[in-house]
Amino acid sequence: MAIERTFSIIKPDAVAKNLIGPVTTKLEEAGLRVVASRMTKLTQVEAQQFYAVHSERPFYHDLVKFMTEGPVVVQVLEGENAVKKNREIMGATNPADAADGTIRKAFAESIERNAVHGSDSPENAKIEIGFFFSSAELATLTR
Ligand code: CMP
């Protein structure tokens, strides 16, 4: 299996609860390596663009509001089968459905405030990584 990259966001609820370390530990224990990481506060336009695929969904407005309420940590994760591995360790979107041991089961409050985002496919991982990290920045970090 080839080494793959995926994109992760530690969301405002988890950052506010001082959970950057515990969330990252779960990612690392799952075999993923953080190859780029930055704390940022999304603007409304950034959140709208990042989640544009959900713009017709009833929860879109609240999702944008939540994602801009405080700082987030955006990360590039690397490892074998990274997209699938990250989604497994994240757990189901709704923490009520998430398996024991997953990030959302341990740390998420609700389907809206669900601690982490992770790319759902290698194609979207490339798009989402490119949304936050330039190829020059990634080349410097992984040199
Ligand atoms: P995420 O993986 O970041 O992708 C889209 C986000 O929209 C999702 O996590 C949730 O935070 C949110 N979301 C998805 N489905 C719902 C829903 N039914 N109600 C409210 N928020 C949702």
CA 14 → CA 86, 118, 131, distances in Å? 17, 14, 21
Residue 127 Cα to ligand 1 middle (Å): 19
CB of 94 sitting under 6 A from ligand 1: no
Q: Under a CB-based contact definition with an 8 Å cutoff, are residues 10 and 90 in contact?
A: no
Cβ of residue 69 lying under 6 Å from some atom of ligand 1? no
Crossing angle of helices 122-132 and 82-90, rounded to 10°:
80
Phi, psi (5° rounding) for residue 25?
-60, -45
Q: Each residue of 40-57: pLDDT tens digit?
A: 999 999 999 999 999 999
CB-based contact 72:50 (threshold 8 Å): no
Q: Answer positive or negative: Cα dihedral of 82, 42, 124, 58.
A: positive
The 10s digit of each residue's pLDDT in 110-137 is 999 999 999 999 999 999 999 999 999 9
* 61 is a catalytic site residue: no
Summarised one tens digit per residue, pLDDT across range 78-101 is 999 999 999 999 999 999 999 999
pTM here is 0.96
19: pLDDT strictly greater than 70 = yes
63 pocket-lining for ligand 1 (C-beta < 6 Å): yes
Instruction: Pick the catalytic residue from 117, 118, 129, 133.
Output: 117
- Residue 142: predicted pLDDT: 75
Q: Residue 12: is its pLDDT beyond 70?
A: yes
